[in-house]
Amino acid sequence: MRRSFALLAVSALAFGGAIAGRAFPPPQVNDYVIAGDTLPRALADFGFFADSAGREAVSGVTSYSLNTPLFSDGADKLRYIYLPAGTEMSADGDGLLQFPVGAAIIKTFAFGEGDEQRFIETRVLLHRADGWTALPYRWDDAQSEAKLALAGARLPITTPAGEQISYRIPNKNECKTCHSKDGEVIPIGPKARNLSAEWLSAMVESGQLDAFPEGADMLPDWNRRGEKATTSLARAYLDVNCAHCHQPGGGASNSGLDLRWEQHDPHALGVRKPPVAAGRGAGGHTVSIAPGDPDSSILVYRMNSAEPGIAMPELGRSTIDHDGVEVVRRWIAEMSGTEITQ
Which of 25-34, 175-184, 192-201, 330-339 is most confident? 192-201
* pLDDT level of residue 260 (50, 70, 90 thresholds): very high
Please tell me the predicted confidence (pLDDT) of residue 46: 97
Return the minimum-mean-pLDDT range out of 23-37, 186-200, 265-279. 23-37
Q: Are residues 105 and 130 in the same domain?
A: yes
* Mean pLDDT confidence for 79-91: 96
Average pLDDT over residues 96-117: 93
Q: Give the three-state DSSP class for 2.
A: helix
- What does the pLDDT read at residue 342? 66
User: What's the confidence (pLDDT) of residue 314?
Assistant: 79
Question: Based on the domain organization, do 282 and 213 belong to the same domain?
Answer: no
Taking residues 156-165, report their average pLDDT: 92
For 147, 167, 214, the CA distances from 95, given in Å and listed in that order, are 32, 30, 9
Residue 333 has pLDDT above 90, yes or no: yes
17 has a pLDDT exceeding 60: no
Q: Residue 7: inside a domain, yes or no?
A: no
What is the domain range of residue 266?
Answer: 222-342
> Which of 109, 262, 291, 279 is closest to 194 using CA atoms?
262
pLDDT at 201 over 90: yes
Q: Are 128 and 205 contained in the same domain?
A: yes
Angstrom distance (rounded) from CA 269 to CA 267: 5
Q: What is the pLDDT of residue 11?
A: 38
**108 within domain boundaries:** yes
Model pTM greater than 0.85?
Answer: yes
Looking at the structure, tell me whether residues 302 and 193 fall in a common domain: no
Which of 187, 219, 251 is at the close of a domain? 219
Exposure string for 1-30, b = 16+ CB within 10 A, e = fewer = eeeeeeeeeeebeeeeeeeeeeebeebebe
113 and 100 in a common domain: yes
Cα(8)–Cα(311) distance, rounded to whole angstroms? 53
Of the listed ranges 20-24, 137-141, 317-321, the least confidently predicted one is 20-24
Last residue of a domain, one of 190, 219, 248: 219
**Over pLDDT 90: what percentage of the chain?**
67
Q: What is the mean pLDDT of residues 301-305?
A: 94
- Say which range, 134-143, 159-168, 176-185, 228-237, has the weakest mean pLDDT: 176-185
- pLDDT, mean over the chain: 87
Query: In the predicted model, is pLDDT for residue 124 greater than 70?
Result: yes
Residues 126 and 271 in one domain: no
Q: Report the alpha-carbon distance of residue 102 to residue 35 in Å, rounded.
A: 5
Stretch 219-235: mean pLDDT: 94
Sequence-distant (6+) residues with CB within 8 A of 287 are: 270, 271, 272, 273, 274, 275, 296, 297, 298
Q: Within this chain, do residues 210 and 227 fall inside the same structural domain, yes or no?
A: no
Rounded to 10 degrees, the C-alpha dihedral 226/232/235/236 comes to: -70
Residues 67 and 58: beta-carbon distance below 8 Å: no
Taking the C-alpha atoms of residue 227 and residue 41, their distance in angstroms, rounded to an integer, is 45
- What does the pLDDT read at residue 334? 94
Alpha carbons 256 and 266: distance in angstroms, whole number: 12
Average of per-residue pLDDT across 5-33: 55
Averaged over 210-237, what is the pLDDT? 93
Residue ranges of alpha helices (H) inside 107-170 are none
In this prediction, residue 267 carries a pLDDT of 94
Residues 55 and 179 in one domain: yes
- Total Cβ atoms within 10 A of residue 95: 17
Question: Do residue 161 and residue 281 come from a single domain?
Answer: no
Contact 136, 169 (CB under 8 A): yes
Does residue 6 surpass a pLDDT of 50?
Answer: no
pLDDT band at 7 (very low <50, low <70, confident <90, very high): very low
Residues 84 and 130 in one domain: yes
The most confident of the ranges 8-12, 245-249, 336-340 is 245-249
| Positive/negative CA dihedral, 311, 314, 320, 326 | negative
pLDDT in the model for residue 150: 92
Distance from C-alpha of 32 to C-alpha of 18, rounded to nearest angstrom: 26
The predicted structure's pLDDT at residue 339: 60
Give me the number of domains the chain comprises.
2
Quick check: 186 pLDDT over 50?
yes
Q: Supply the pLDDT for residue 216.
A: 92
Does the pLDDT of residue 261 top 60, yes or no?
yes
